[in-house]
Amino acid sequence: MSLKAPRQAKFKAINKMPLIIDCDPGQDDALMLFMALNAPEFDLRGIVAVAGNVPLAATELNIRILADICNRTDVPLYSGCEKPLQRSLITAEYVHGKTGIDPLEIYQPQVQLQAQHGVDFIIDTLTNAADNEITIVATGPMTNIATVLSRAPQLSVRIKQIVMMGGAMFEGGNVTPSAEFNVYLDPEALDIVLKAGRPIYAFGLDVTHKVMSSPKRVAAIRALDNPVAQAAADMLEFFDRYDSQKYASEGAPLHDPCTVAFLLQPEMFKMKACACQVELNSELTRGHTAVDFWQVTDQPHNIHWAHDVNAEEFFTLLTDRLSDY
């Protein structure tokens, strides 16, 4: 694929949000990146890969491919941690396919990873930032972010907010009866992040299961006449097959794009400030996010929990952003 000058989006923004994205693509991560890479609202400082849906060798290649498809070769790309803090890596090829972004072509794009480790990049970015400046979107296990906070806890004040995909309360789990995949993979990492004292906006299964793709919604994306939209439709059709077979649903939940959608149009979501703890020890409930949604304890609030969304507004936003490529 040839390299061209980065495109100019039709959506205008004056005050750009300084942003780091940490992800583990994954088809839904890919759609999240398609939205973010076409958002002039963001000053996107870099994208960091982490092991999660597929191993790090795949996720670090996937961020290169996805940036190349979007013609955003100006965005620095980094490789992060290859395994959870304390546990063995568990992956989800049974959902995402062998590559993570099936059925897209896997190739070696000209855009390369930066030599610097992703954790060091985040630390350097925070070091050079003002207090409450940097927004972090995290749509995989929290391994990279927890490593940053463990190595440089004094820099946590530079983080404005962490917008994450992970966890479940009302919906139950999707990898065990109790746990959502991202949290189950590295619960110790989320525990560190929850205790860091920074604003956290969490988009778990309670809300992501309300933004389901459907044949009609995929067809609207397929009708857009550009390569990025076609790649999105291809991945959605592949991604849908798992949920339709396992859950007899009409389509698949778009977990990770909820994070970027919130930053672009927060009014489409309903959030509630809650206390949240993550289970670390129980074999039965490892990775369970114990969200005190009904305020039954006196624990201090440490998370803003998404519990509802206007799905039509969500898909309108997604389609609009894909239309401009």
CA torsion sign for 149, 154, 158, 160 is positive
For residue 286, is it within any domain?
yes
User: Torsion over CA of 262, 266, 272 and 277, rounded to 10 degrees?
Assistant: 20
73 found inside a domain: yes
Question: pLDDT value at position 2?
Answer: 38
pLDDT at 192: 99
Q: 255, 288, 304, 307: which one is catalytic?
A: 255
pLDDT score, position 14: 64
Number of domains in the chain: 1
pLDDT in tens, the chain (325 residues): 334 444 544 555 568 999 999 999 999 999 999 999 999 999 999 999 999 999 999 999 999 999 999 999 999 999 999 999 999 999 999 999 999 999 999 999 999 999 999 999 999 999 999 999 999 999 999 999 999 999 999 999 999 999 999 999 999 999 999 999 999 999 999 999 999 999 999 999 999 999 999 999 999 999 999 999 999 999 999 988 777 677 667 788 999 999 999 999 999 999 999 999 999 999 999 999 999 999 999 999 999 999 999 999 999 999 999 999 9
49, part of any domain: yes
State which amino acid sits at residue 46: G
- CA-CA-CA-CA torsion sign (109, 18, 313, 212): positive
Rounded (10°) angle between helices 227-247 and 27-36 = 150
Q: Does 7 fall in a domain?
A: no
pTM of the complete model beyond 0.85: yes
Q: Is 255 among the catalytic positions?
A: yes
Q: Which domain holds residue 291?
A: 17-323
- Examine residue 61 and state whether it is found in any structural domain, yes or no: yes
Is the residue at 2 inside a domain? no
